[in-house]
A = this chain, B = another copy of it.
Amino acid sequence: MNAKTIGIIGGGQLGRMLAMAASRLNFRTLILEPAPDCPAAQLANGQIVAAYDDEAALTELAARCDVVTYEFENVPVGAARRLAESVAVYPPAFALEVAQDRLTEKRYLNSVGIPTADFRAVDSQADLEAALAEFGGKGVLKTRRMGYDGKGQILFREGDSPEGAFDTLGGAALILESFIAFEREISVIAARDAEGVVVCFDPAENVHRNGILHTSTLPAAIDDHVAAQARDAAERLLAGLDYVGVIGIEFFVGQGGALIANEIAPRVHNSGHWTEAACVISQFEQHIRAVAGLPLGDPARHSDCVMQNLIGDDIHSVEEWARQKDVYIHLYGKTEPRPGRKMGHITRLTGPASR
């Protein structure tokens, strides 16, 4: 019985939790990551210490693995395509391409019938001013590429001056998104296997602080038809992308339950960490099952819960969390608690699944 080896591009906490889930199913893992002793490699069977687009490293990864996946959406698309010539790569490189550019992403979502905020491409200060005028002076200006955790964004309220904003965000390709008045934010973690079967975990209700996810609460305070709409969007998106693996889709919920997709992450997602404590099958196991060809697991949740991120110095409160009942702690093996850095998370079970 030779265990399959799963290659994981990226060595952060998501890779770490994927490696842990893989080991429980007897898969071996090999991490490609330039930083030695990264969070993922501490638990994986091996690490190739090299840049994500290092030719020799990619050749080695393909040779040593039965399937390759990734734990962050900024894997160079060229590297994913090159890899895919010699080894199965899930999710497909096309999903990376769609997710890496906010303009491409929104256009794609709309093309499969998933509503988003209205948006305009912004390639100059003049573009910005024209677009702002169209949106009544309000909107969110974002870099099209490489933004995360609220970085690379400027919010315009009515009357704010756009002067110099294009240059402030680097003078590169930007996007202006119309301002969405939302009641709450939710996300759906969905999985699709190679046969096209899609399963979704229950929608989580998310609260962000300073642009970083703070809590995910289950169940979300939404009506069943909103949850159904979110699942339906996930199914259409995953079929369209011919996706294999787990995806995270964030939505705004407006008045009356109108659902607006905010962004997608073609990987396991921070707002799905609760699944590890409140479901039999976690999002990490689900992703490993999908990419390794095992049947997808039932996504039922046995408990209500609240997941909370431990950011920066929050890590020093671990002993207090450890004293509390019903609190599941998961830390990422990072030694330096820098401000804004995700150091771990806790999930508090709040009772048997209520609905």
Contacts and interface: CB of A to CB of B under 8 A. Distances in A.
A322 B26 contact: no
A43 interface: yes
B295 A327 contact: no
Given A42-B45, A280-B277, A333 B3 contact: yes
A37 to B, nearest CB: 8
A281 B277 CA distance: 10
A23 B96 CA distance: 30
Interface in A289-307: 289, 294-295, 297-298, 300, 302-303
- The DSSP consensus for interface residues of chain A is loop
Interface in A318-338: 318-319, 322-323, 325-333, 335-337
Contacts of A281: 328
A323 to B, nearest CB: 5
A298 B328 CA distance: 11
Nearest to A45: B42
A24 B330 contact: yes
Interface residues of A, number: 44
Interface in A236-267: none
A25 interface: yes
A337 B26 contact: no
Interface string A85-120: 000000000000000000000000000000000000
Nearest to A16: B23
A322 B277 contact: no
Contacts of A2: 335
A281 B325 CA distance: 9
A318 B297 CA distance: 12
19 contacts: A1-B335, A1-B337, A2-B335, A20-B23, A23-B333, A24-B329, A24-B330, A24-B331, A26-B315, A26-B318, A26-B333, A28-B42, A28-B333, A43-B43, A294-B322, A295-B322, A298-B326, A300-B325, A300-B326
Given A43-B43, A280-B349, A300-B326, 4 more contacts: A1-B337, A24-B329, A25-B329, A294-B319
